[in-house]
Chains A and B, each alone.
Chain A
């Protein structure tokens, strides 16, 4: 048995991936999701340069309706701050927190799920107990407690969201590992001299990737919703403008100023919708047999 044999066994032929990409491209909803997300990312990347108005500066009369004052095209909030500036500048914060929190969720989930699924036995029992424990804590309340105790700042918020949302990811990873571990090519790689680390990271994980990638797309969306919820409850970082912060700040004025909550909420909605559509599209692309769902 040569040294490159395990690798050959582990590597998927590239054609299924290409097939999946083609299937995704044919999926109209998935492509629409990609377009939506690209627009939001572009807004976050270049928006602040194109529209450099300070979102915290008071530039007009309070609660100016949209299309009434050229200075505030989307209207102003209860203090007279430019709503469009808030949405443009908030895109970065929202995406950053969502991305960081999702990265944490996925990392913890995969490490715990992979360890539980790979080693099994007592380690599995212990880790699953831990997962179960984190699942009975209502995520939002848990995150609220964490953020309140440690003062709201971007890293704490991202950390709190990651810490409360990993269990689903861990369960999924574990299930995939349990499915793949008994397969012939894993045993073949092991007998070829592959160590635990090699088996976990280079053999099983790549083959478990498709459902994990789908779920990661959804996790980013969930993290963005989560951040919006926390800021709505007044637990966002008060020094940086995010979409949730705008909604939370204006929540007493929704009847007199519907635009103050409608537009930033719509921005959250479009972003998460884009991510959900991408997730669905990827799911269909990876599982051609499951399209009917």
Chain B
């Protein structure tokens, strides 16, 4: 019963957030200087009055503002995010087409960051003053301070000019033919550098975080009890301490999702990864407002959904929250 009401509350707040995102999107089109019809038309310059009138009628821009907002909400509810003026196809189609590569990059980068981060964090917590502890501190400081697109470019210079073992651009090699396995391996090969670039900063952050919470947990009473019972280090660390040390990492990873998505815009642009980030970059270059705003709302929705998912994962990892 309690779990259901908690879930209901989460759903209600997610729905409110969603509504706010759509209203913001609407407002941004209207607050922007100039005629919203021209904005929607993409400020092509020299747009004929007939086309503008057509857009005004099509989007109901001749109606009062609150009517427009309601109409807009109705449109978005059916998945209609408007038309991309550049491609002249529905924005939602463009987004869905580019979603897969972005999710692949995000998922791989984040998994790398969490798994390696936790591993390094635990290892360095066992030797708080060891070399690894210091290395992690330095990497996390350096990783935090270097612009992510610059890190990516440095990797491109190294792996493009000096040591060409990884592809530095795109997601596939068009000269590679073969079965699904060959193609999957090709994508994985292309994924190495972008995923590393995106994940390495967070890896260092998570290892610091995990190390700190692990040190905390290892001092706690229940670990002392486990030790007194004569349990081995493996069981104590693997079963008792690790679970609690992972929790802050999951929390922070969930909170940082929007930020990681932002990082992926830059990483995708650097590596020409054909995802939502490059689409956003291209939309900026082409002043394709509907697509850019569509990506913004879509990403916000994605963050809301994944946050809910994180919440559920959290409950699974920590049985106390139920």
- Answer yes or no: are A and B bound together in one complex: yes
| B-binding residues in A (CB < 8 A) | 129, 132-133, 135-142, 144-146, 148-151, 221, 225, 228-229, 232-235, 244, 247, 251, 254-255, 258, 261-262, 265, 268-269, 272-273, 275-277, 280, 292-293
8 Å CB contact of B154 from A139, A244, A255, A262: A262
Chain A residues, CB < 8 A from B150: 228, 247, 261, 265, 268-269
Chain B, residues 15-34, CB within 8 Å of chain A (1/0): the string is 01100110010001001110
Residues in A with CB closer than 8 Å to B292 are: 141, 144-145, 148
Q: Are A255 and B160 in contact (CB under 8 A)?
A: yes
Within residues 274 to 308 of chain B, which ones have a CB less than 8 A from any CB in chain A?
280-281, 284-285, 287, 289, 292-293, 295-296, 299-300, 303-304, 307
CA distance A225 to B161 in the complex (A): 26
Query: What A residues does B16 contact at CB under 8 A?
Result: 129
Cross-chain contact B284 with A247 (CB below 8 angstroms): no
Inter-chain contact B145/A233, CB cutoff 8 Å:
no
Taking CB as reference atom, which chain A residue is nearest B259? Answer: A139
Shortest distance in angstroms between B205's beta carbon and chain A's nearest beta carbon? Answer: 12
Known: A137-B296, A139-B258, A150-B32. 6 other contacts (CB 8 A): A138-B258, A141-B265, A233-B269, A247-B153, A265-B147, A269-B142
Query: Could you say which of A136, A148, A261, A277 contacts B17, with CB atoms under 8 Å apart?
Result: A136
Chain A CB count within 10 A is highest, among B153, B259, B307, for B153
Q: Inside 8 A of B147's CB, which chain A residues have their CB?
A: 225, 228-229, 232, 244, 247, 265, 268-269, 272
With both chains docked as a complex, state the minimum distance between the C-beta of A133 and any C-beta of chain B, in angstroms.
5
- Evaluate whether A145 and B142 lie within 8 angstroms (CB atoms) in the complex, with A139-B259, A140-B262, A229-B147 already known: no
- The number of residue pairs between A and B whose CB atoms lie closer than 8 Å in the complex comes to 147
Please tell me if the beta carbons of B261 and A141 are within 8 angstroms of each other in the complex.
yes
C-alpha gap A258/B263 in the complex (Å): 22
Complex contacts, B21 vs chain A, CB 8 Å: 133, 136-137
Please state if B128 and A292 are interface contacts (CB–CB under 8 Å): yes
* A141-B266 contact, Cβ under 8 Å, with A251-B153, A272-B145: no
Give the CA-CA distance A142 to B292 in the complex, in Å.
Answer: 9
B188 within 8 A of A: no
- Output the least CB separation between B104 and chain A (Å): 17
Question: How long is the Cα–Cα vector from A221 to B212 in the complex, in angstroms?
Answer: 23
A-B contact pairs, 29 of them (CB 8 A): A133-B21, A135-B258, A137-B258, A139-B258, A140-B266, A145-B292, A145-B293, A145-B296, A148-B289, A149-B289, A150-B32, A228-B147, A229-B149, A229-B262, A232-B149, A234-B284, A235-B284, A254-B160, A258-B161, A265-B153, A268-B147, A269-B146, A269-B147, A269-B150, A272-B147, A273-B141, A273-B142, A275-B145, A280-B141
Hey, what's the 0/1 contact readout for B40-61 against A, CB within 8 Å counting as 1? Answer: 0000000000000000000000
Q: Which of A132, A136, A265, A277 contacts B141 (CB 8 A)?
A: A277
Interface residues of B (CB under 8 A from A): 13, 16-17, 20-21, 24, 28, 31-33, 39, 128, 141-142, 144-150, 153-154, 156-157, 160-161, 208, 212, 215, 255, 258-259, 261-263, 265-266, 269-270, 280-281, 284-285, 287, 289, 292-293, 295-296, 299-300, 303-304, 307
Which residue from chain B places its CB closest to the CB of A256 in the assembled complex? B161
Is the Cβ of A261 less than 8 Å from the Cβ of B285? no
Residue among B28, B212, B270 having the largest count of chain A Cβ atoms under 10 Å = B28
Q: Which residue of B lies closest to A261 (CB)?
A: B153
Closest to A152 in B: B284
Residue of B nearest to A277 (CB): B141
Residue of B nearest to A224 (CB): B147
Given contacts A148-B289, A293-B212, contact A233 B266 (CB under 8 A): yes
Whether A132 lies near B284 (C-beta < 8 A) is: no
A76 to chain B, nearest CB (A): 18
Task: Find the A residue at minimum CB distance from B301.
Answer: A136
Chain A's nearest CB lies how many Å from the CB of B6?
A: 16
Closest A residue to B269 using CB positions:
A233
Query: How far is it, in angstroms, between the C-alpha of A141 and the C-alpha of B261 when the chains are bound?
Result: 9
For A139, the closest partner residue in chain B by CB is B262
CA distance A235 to B283 in the complex (A): 12
Across-interface contacts of B281 in A (CB, < 8 A): 233-234
Q: How far, in whole Å, are A272 and B212 apart by their CA atoms in the complex? A: 24
A129 to B287, CA, bound (A): 31
What residues of chain A lie closer than 8 Å to B270, measured between beta carbons? 251
State A128–B21 Cα separation when bound (angstroms).
Answer: 16
Q: Which residues of B contact A129 (CB under 8 A)?
A: 13, 16
List, in ascending order, chain A residues with CB within 8 A of B262's CB. 138-141, 229
Instruction: Give the docked Cα–Cα distance between A235 and B280 (Å).
Output: 12
* Closest partner residue, chain A, to B160 (CB atom): A255
- Given known contacts A149-B39, A150-B32, A150-B33, is B146 in contact with A265 (CB within 8 Å)? yes
Asked whether A269 lies within 8 Å of B145 as measured between CB atoms, the reply is yes
- What B residues does A265 contact at CB under 8 A? 146-147, 150, 153-154
Say yes or no: B259 contacts A138, CB within 8 Å.
yes
Can you name the residue of chain A whose Cβ is closest to the Cβ of B260? A138
Q: Which residue of B lies closest to A272 (CB)?
A: B145
Contact A233 B284 (CB under 8 A): yes
Knowing A144-B280, A255-B160 touch, does A136 contact B307 (C-beta < 8 A)? Answer: yes
